[in-house]
Structure 1
């Protein structure tokens, strides 16, 4: 009878594995123990003859509060005073939805202001010329 393959799991470049199992593996990755950001799950498998296989699976953890930013985008070039609005809100305890702070207020886009000015200007012109 032939032996089973083993699977060793690592997170990022940690030298200590998070687990070593016989194949097939059913595993629950608790992302709450990881910091928010980019991570890599490294899977090393060894068959009974000693041959190894490696698979890298990049993933992103986002357990912390969601952060929205208005007024500054990636790689923007800015000058002078810049108004910025930042909102952060958490997901709660996954059993109860948090309504406070979960919606990000946004400013009205300038194209809507322009459309309103044009509409009201036209309406006043129409009323005065009729």
Structure 2
């Protein structure tokens, strides 16, 4: 599965650390940044794949699980440190779940929002990855 944990450089300080995300950390040009917050612990987010978009997910606060599927396997990654980012490339189904209280998920994306890039039905995703491998 084409995913990777990326270390976010941090500047340590007794008064609080700073996480730095610059072009040399992100393996694509940043076109969009958004974040999820106030997600109930019982809620699930995501539930889709992208045809070309890549994303970096960062738990700025709290924790959550990222369930990843590539059509043949499944992997669950827990994000809970603001200096670790999960790189998800295209053609990977993702679901976010088990949000802790106060969790904030920042998403850094390689493309602006385009509905045509989304695959929102899992069966359609399985067909798409079978054809586009």
The higher radius of gyration belongs to: 1
- Give the helix-richer structure, 1 or 2: 1
When normalised by structure 2's length, the TM-score is 0.24
